[in-house]
Structure 1
Amino acid sequence: MAEGAAAVVKRWVGFSVFLAVVGLIVAGMMLRQEISDHVAGINYEMTPRVNELAEDLELTDAGRRIFIATHPTIDGSQHFNDQCAGVDHSEQGHVLGCYTSDRIHLFDVTDDRVNGIVEITAAHELLHAAFRRLGEGDQSLLASRLRGAYKELVPSHPDLKERMSVYEHLSESAFANELHSVLGTEVRDLPTWLEDHYAQWFTNRPALIDDFESYHTVFNDLQSQAVALQAEMTSLRADVERRKSAYGDAVDAFNADATAYATRIERDDYRDDPDGQQRDADALQQRRVSLDAELDALQADIDRYNALRDDLEALGEVSAELDEHLDSDLAPITTRPNER
């Protein structure tokens, strides 16, 4: 009897050990990515610039672990182009970051007018890394929910559809991957479930949106000002051309009438009508004054047009300068030394 009880106990102990081993295996499989990220992070030495960026992103522990595991680089030279050479560059504008081979590479934009652009690019690429770490089933489910949220958001966010149009050629999964990064870094009002989803990696997503809207406003304002100037110039030019033509006709008519008036004087046609001569002289003088005033007005509008053209050229220079700072193809060839 005692031996039977001992055998039962032995079997239970063996079964418990088996369950414990299975539990460890399952837990290990579930935590495999976290463990892998932790190990990858151990082998990475952050520069002060990258560490500052990680702090600015206000990441959760999970977000920071993924970010560090991707060994992020920030480079202001053309070496960045080499790092992102294999990435699909179909997106409009300049490529400021990429996530490739589980590595995040960022172009170092230092123009104060677009503060926050590196942070938003880093957050965008981090969300790509987070998406990749989801299981296939979770990715598929999330992709479906993201598409649904996208359809609901487009009517109140018309710019979002244009923003995502550059990704329409991608597969459903790849499109969802891009949408996952865009919504998380560029759209303020999201469904609660999606806010909770992004809260896995960011403790202060509204601050990210503030950064995005801040630098995005710079480009929007430049574009709005340029469009307004071009519209005003087009309208003013048409008005000036019309008035110049009318002015030319009025001058021709005045010259003809002035010549006729001089001829009548030569023929002494006003000998018996001095009052008529005075009236015609006064009328010609009033027309001359009116023509001189119209000429002054035309010149003022021409000067105004030229000033608007100068303003538009100045805006173009500012836009070109910003564009140059965002263009990694124009960056120095040599890599900037890492900050230690």
Structure 2
Amino acid sequence: MTFFEQAPMGRHASRRRRSLVGRVSTAAMLVVLAAATVGGLWLMSQDSKADEPLLERIFPALAAAPPPLSAEFADLADRMMLTAEGREVFASTQPRYADADEIAALCRDESHDPENESTLGCFTGFEQSRAQDRIFIYRPTDERLGQSTVTTAAHELLHAVYARMSSDEKTRVAELLSAATALVSADDPVHDQIAASMDGDDEKRATEQFAYLGSQVHPDTGFSAELEQIYARTITDRAALVETHRRAVAVLDDVRAAVARAWEDVAAAEQANAQTRAQLEADVDALSKAAARFADDRAEFEATSPEDRARWRVTLTPAGGEPITMSWEESIAYRDDDLNRIRGEHNARRTELELAEAEAARLRADTQALQDDALALLRDAYPGQTFEG
């Protein structure tokens, strides 16, 4: 992909973990439930924690409170403008930063096409226990892309929030999201992002809409009051969160635009220099021909006797001036001086042109460096993608 082609959309993977651990845990739970049924109420009566949810009694490790947010993720929660409820859910997912290779491994999705998309984060877990939910966030190395981690984290957190909704609430939210999506401009890239993350699985539509719209789209009047109230349980200022996303996108847009403007300046300078050089070379060629004619005329003058020279008068018309009549000898001196004057002008023009060409070469080198930096920024923003100048 060349630098000036549309960059790939960042992709967020949200999937249920279908690992061996998930399957074994489910099977184990069914075995214990069967044992409890066979044993009647004996198991319940022998358990001093009979009031706790059954899953948590069966798997006490899963019921343990998640560790508090570390300082860096507490700061990220502040930047996401999370409510107390939102921070609690965020902490429960034990969020973790990861580099491009780790994200590729942790968020691997067989349906994902790495040639066209980049995965920026994922939410993973399984329905039997929300205690197993995890959020992985791709963190670019370039500080200019720091705001993008806010959008990624908010997106994945909204997946976790949606996963915790009851079936009835998910049904209602899906209806609200369908109406909200219809309000988004058809050319908004969020539609392609939603489709890419769904990858043809319609069951993912609502959760992807909930995550993408919640973190990236805020109409002037917001979405419906009901949907905004649902988002408000997690995010205190969704408009500000979306503005953070806009600024993150603008970083790449501004860099790309700056490179485009710089190349336009290079092209303009080089074109102007090329035209100047072409005109100078044409003028030098004309001067060479004029000098050759003058050499012939001066040879003729020098071959003529002084008496015959004196009998001739010459009329010269300077460029842009009035005709001047003078003796033949005076005309030779006048023309010689004029040719030397023009040679001096040409030398000055050549020196000025060489300085301009050197400046254009410096501008080209600076612009190439600017583009190289922008390419590095794009590669950092979209891991796994190939960009060429």
Fold agreement, TM-score > 0.5: yes
- Deviation digits for residues 74-109 of structure 1, max 9, x if unmatched? 224733321011173569664321123353211233
Residue among 147, 153, 157 paired with 1:122: 153
Gaps of 5+ in 1: 1-30, 33-38, 331-340
CA contact 2:118–2:384 (8 Å) conserved in 1: no
Equivalent residue runs for 1:1-340 within 5 Å: 42-46=64-68, 48=70, 49-76=72-99, 78-86=101-109, 88=112, 94-101=118-125, 102-134=133-165, 135=167, 137-151=171-185, 161-168=188-195, 170-171=199-200, 174=204, 177-188=207-218, 189-193=220-224, 194-268=227-301, 271=309, 272=312, 273-323=328-378, 325-326=380-381
Q: What SS class does the counterpart of residue 268 from structure 1 fall into?
A: helix
CA contact 1:104–1:125 (8 Å) conserved in 2: yes
Pick closer, same or farther for the CA change 1:277–1:95 going to 2, 3 Å.
same
- Identify which range, 179-188 or 299-308, moves more after superposition: 179-188
CA contact 2:123–2:160 (8 Å) conserved in 1: yes
More relative contact order, 1 or 2 (CA 8 Å, 6+ apart): 1
- Identify which range, 230-239 or 287-296, moves more after superposition: 287-296
Pick closer, same or farther for the CA change 1:328–1:192 going to 2, 3 Å.
closer
Q: What SS class does the counterpart of residue 301 from structure 2 fall into?
A: coil
Pick closer, same or farther for the CA change 1:186–1:91 going to 2, 3 Å.
farther
- Deviation digits for residues 168-226 of structure 1, max 9, x if unmatched? 46546645644433332234535252543421210132442343344333322211110
Distance 1:43 1:178 in 2: 27
Q: Which has the higher strand share?
A: 2
- Deviation digits for residues 236-282 of structure 1, max 9, x if unmatched? 22332233223222211111111221222122279440222233224
Q: What SS class does the counterpart of residue 310 from structure 1 fall into?
A: helix
Match of 2:9? none
- Identify which range, 296-305 or 307-316, moves more after superposition: 296-305
TM-score, normalization by structure 2: 0.62
Shift of 1:227: 0.6
Distance 2:258 2:269 in 1: 16
CA contact 2:194–2:212 (8 Å) conserved in 1: no
> What percentage of residue pairs aligned between the two structures are identical?
23
CA contact 1:186–1:209 (8 Å) conserved in 2: yes
- Deviation digits for residues 134-157 of structure 1, max 9, x if unmatched? 535224312321222213xx5xxx
TM-score, normalization by structure 1: 0.70
Pick closer, same or farther for the CA change 1:261–1:165 going to 2, 3 Å.
farther
Pick closer, same or farther for the CA change 1:173–1:233 going to 2, 3 Å.
farther
Letter in 2 for 1:141: E
Pick closer, same or farther for the CA change 1:173–1:150 going to 2, 3 Å.
farther
- Identify which range, 249-258 or 173-182, moves more after superposition: 173-182
Q: What SS class does the counterpart of residue 191 from structure 1 fall into?
A: coil
CA contact 2:86–2:235 (8 Å) conserved in 1: yes
Gaps of 5+ in 2: 1-52, 55-60, 126-132, 313-327
CA contact 1:143–1:176 (8 Å) conserved in 2: yes
Pick closer, same or farther for the CA change 1:96–1:190 going to 2, 3 Å.
farther
CA RMSD of aligned residues (A): 3.4
Q: What SS class does the counterpart of residue 96 from structure 1 fall into?
A: strand
- Deviation digits for residues 270-323 of structure 1, max 9, x if unmatched? 944022223322432343233234323422331232122122122123224434
Instruction: Give the paired residue count.
Output: 287
